[in-house]
Amino acid sequence: MRIDAVEFFYLAMPEITLEADGSQDALLVRVTADNGVQGWGECEASPLTSIAAFITPRSHGVCQPVAASVLGERIDGPADIARIAAGVSRRSMDLLQAAHTFSGIEMALWDLLGQARSVPVWSLLGYERVHAKTPYASMLFGDTPQQTLERTRDAVARGFRAVKLGWAGFGEVSVESDRDQLQAAREGIGAETVLLIDAGQIWGEDVGQAAARIPALEEAGVVWLEEPFHAEAYSAYSSLGARSGSVGVAGGEGAHNVHMARNLIDHGGVRFVQIDTGRIGGIGPAKAVADYAAARGVTFVNHTFTSHLALSASLQPFAGLAEHRICEYPAGPSELATRITANHLLPDRNGQIHIPDAPGLGMTVELDAVAPYLRAVDIEIDGVSVYSSPEVPIVSVAK
């Protein structure tokens, strides 16, 4: 097969807020081979800049558009996906958005290959069987402890056995206010439910500020503190890890290549490495990190906060790792995100989700369902069109 077309579909809610909610817009990718087989992926970044990285005119030899390494390439097996990825890495070396743009394309290539061979992606990755994962409800803190209490109670009522809270001012005011939020969360979920906290890089590289929260985190029985620092602040991660007691330090969602993730493991000393297939370059690089983490006793966790297409892609790299069971699950995504696929990965009566065994990613994308959120994009240079959105009926969203 040859890659015949790569199409992008930019989706957005009518109003984009300042909440740390990545499901408010999306960039779907459809890759079509010359035999008509299609695959779907999703970029996890600013949609317009991702489109631009695919079509931008070249600046020089290693600042070429992602399209230069993708269109027309053969895709007959996993080795071809790795070869294409290497081409993007080389030819788009100085194009900083390239990894994010190619991540969605790479997902779609795996989906396409699985569709062509009638096998799930996890089988193409070499796994003989998969293991159910325990999803944690990924949520934002409430504006008040009472709101946090209510949100966490609702998550438990919905069957979640683990809850992660973050952002919404955590770490910005005082240790006391953060302790109040943590205690409200623990009260809401009860003694048996796993509690996880996401600091959203709030302390930059200030180890002292993060360490000041450790007693309150331990008191609330928190399993991990996620992203206390900037993604590349490896020394800060390592220093906090030496002082964090029973609270594991987690990070990795900011890694946009395998080397950043390995550095976080080797030099940051994290106990949990969280990888987003929509950022690191796709499913293949995420699988490489999963293997690396497993060999070093670090727990691999997916990162995803958007659609169930992205969720399925994020589960593939560690689908066959029996001891790596916890996974992020978008518990309150936007209506846009929920409409992207006709099917969803829903927790069973035991609170676990099962990775699809259908061909490819096992998800059915429905453009008709997201038509109200589609945005038309036209990009011109000197009056000449270099990009136009695919021909899909556009329906306005009521405001």
Local structure of residue 120 (DSSP, 8 states):
B
pLDDT at 46 over 80: yes
Domain boundaries, the chain: 3-120+364-388, 124-339
The per-residue pLDDT for 272 is 97
The per-residue pLDDT for 249 is 97
The per-residue pLDDT for 202 is 94
275, 290 Cβ separation under 8 angstroms: yes
Residue 27 CB partners (closer than 8 Å, separation 6+) = 8, 9, 10, 11, 42, 43, 45, 47, 50, 51, 104
pLDDT in tens, 282-313: 999 999 999 999 999 999 999 998 899 999 99
The per-residue pLDDT for 395 is 43
110, 282 Cβ separation under 8 angstroms: yes
pLDDT in tens, 98-132: 999 999 999 999 999 999 999 999 999 999 999 99
The per-residue pLDDT for 25 is 86
> Binning pLDDT at 50, 70 and 90, where does residue 45 land?
confident
pLDDT at 393 over 70: no
The per-residue pLDDT for 394 is 46
pLDDT at 75 over 80: yes
Mean pLDDT of all residues in the chain?
93
pLDDT at 79 over 70: yes
List the one residue out of 254, 313, 300, 279 whose CA is nearest residue 40.
313
The per-residue pLDDT for 20 is 67
pLDDT at 270 over 80: yes
pTM metric for this prediction: 0.92
pLDDT in tens, 152-167: 999 999 889 999 999 8
Average pLDDT value for residue range 373-391: 92
Average pLDDT value for residue range 135-163: 92
> Binning pLDDT at 50, 70 and 90, where does residue 277 land?
very high
Pairing mode, strands 272-275 and 299-302: parallel
Average pLDDT value for residue range 72-93: 97
pLDDT at 236 over 80: yes
Check residues 352 and 392 and name the one with the higher pLDDT: 352
The per-residue pLDDT for 399 is 33
Residue 391 CB partners (closer than 8 Å, separation 6+) = none
Average pLDDT value for residue range 337-344: 94
The per-residue pLDDT for 397 is 41
Rounded to the nearest 5°, which phi and psi values hold at 46? -60, 120
Q: What CATH code would you report for 3-120+364-388? A: 3.30.390.10
pLDDT at 54 over 50: yes
Structural class in CATH, domain 124-339: alpha beta
